[in-house]
């Protein structure tokens, strides 16, 4: 991955004031920022500017932001963070299922945006991931399929392990219910009919790895959307 001062971020928003604010904020933290005010310009610069990530507003004048996400995703795996005034969970699910990596609701804090950006940038090069993942007192050896808490091995079912592994390989990324069920249960249709299996598996997993399953420190819930593994700063 490029050093932060060389990371190229494409900011897409039809409001010049927001673009200027984001450019100033990101530039102050060492990012190289490019701007686009509409979908056409965004799609052109997503190629010509060679960005490492895109911060994209959904409310563009010439094309829906979801379609822009889908168009970028057809040819690139670059991280996409959505910005939107829409707070409804279904809008967030639609954006994430379209290929976005994360979703922030306006207004948002610069601190939160930077944290989300760091999280998605860490996923750029899978080859850089360590085979042993550690977070607090939790340790997962992906090669050996071994999970420990406080140094003690935890006995996970195959489904619980695959779910945890999926979250580990996408640290900080919100995974929708549909995405998880497709990846772990291989369900592409009628996933709502087995959503209870996901909830039960999450509950069982938390009971084995969390110090307090009712206040999870690792596997976090995004209400009405899905789950994410807490990303370390």
Q: How many domains, the chain?
A: 2
Q: What is the predicted pLDDT for the residue at 39?
A: 95
Final residue in a domain of this structure, among 80, 100, 126: 126
Helix, strand or coil for residue 166?
helix
> In terms of domains, do 114 and 154 share one?
no
Residue 128 has pLDDT above 50, yes or no: no
Q: Who wins on pLDDT, 160 or 116?
A: 160
Q: What is the predicted pLDDT for the residue at 71?
A: 95
- What CATH number does residue 22 fall under? 3.40.50.2300
> In terms of domains, do 106 and 182 share one?
no
> In terms of domains, do 67 and 10 share one?
yes
> In terms of domains, do 11 and 111 share one?
yes
Residue 129 has pLDDT above 60, yes or no: no
Residue 122 has pLDDT above 80, yes or no: no
Residue 60 has pLDDT above 80, yes or no: yes
Final residue in a domain of this structure, among 95, 126, 157: 126
Residue 186 has pLDDT above 80, yes or no: yes
Final residue in a domain of this structure, among 97, 126, 155: 126
> In terms of domains, do 94 and 107 share one?
yes
**Using alpha carbons only, how large is the chain's radius of gyration in Å?**
18
- Mean pLDDT throughout 5-26? 92
Bridge partners, 30 (sequence order):
none
> In terms of domains, do 118 and 12 share one?
yes
> In terms of domains, do 24 and 122 share one?
yes
Residue 229 has pLDDT above 50, yes or no: yes
In which domain, by residue range, is 79 found? 4-126
Enter the tokens of residue 112: 């939160």
* Sequence-distant (≥ 6) Cβ neighbours of residue 165 within 8 angstroms: 140, 142
Residue 127 has pLDDT above 50, yes or no: no
Q: Which of 32, 37, 39, 74 is nearest to 53 (CA)?
A: 32
> In terms of domains, do 71 and 138 share one?
no
Burial class (CB in 10 A: 0-12, 13-18, 19+), 226: buried
Q: What is the predicted pLDDT for the residue at 191?
A: 66
> In terms of domains, do 40 and 93 share one?
yes
pTM of the entire predicted model: 0.75
């Amino acid at each position: 991955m490029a050093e932060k001062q060389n990371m190229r971020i494409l900011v897409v928003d039809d409001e010049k004031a927001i673009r200027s604010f984001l450019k100033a904020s990101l530039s102050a933290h060492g990012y190289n920022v490019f701007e686009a005010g509409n979908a056409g310009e965004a799609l052109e610069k997503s190629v010509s500017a060679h960005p490492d990530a895109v911060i994209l507003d959904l409310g563009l004048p010439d094309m829906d932001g979801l379609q822009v996400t889908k168009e970028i995703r057809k040819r690139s795996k670059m991280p996409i963070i959505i910005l939107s005034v829409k707070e409804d969970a279904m809008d967030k699910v639609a954006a994430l299922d379209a290929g976005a990596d994360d979703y922030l609701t306006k207004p948002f804090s610069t601190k939160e945006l930077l944290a989300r950006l760091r999280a998605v940038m860490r996923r750029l090069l899978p080859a850089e991931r360590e085979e042993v993942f550690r977070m607090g007192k939790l340790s997962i050896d992906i090669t050996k399929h071994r999970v420990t808490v406080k140094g003690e091995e935890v006995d996970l079912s195959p489904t619980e392990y695959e779910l945890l592994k999926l979250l580990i390989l996408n640290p900080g990324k919100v995974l929708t219910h549909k995405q998880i069920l497709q990846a772990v249960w291989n369900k592409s249709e009628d996933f709502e009919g087995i959503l209870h299996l996901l909830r039960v598996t999450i509950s069982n997993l938390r009971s084995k790895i969390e110090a307090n399953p009712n206040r999870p420190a690792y596997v976090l819930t995004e209400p009405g959307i899905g789950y994410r593994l807490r990303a370390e700063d």
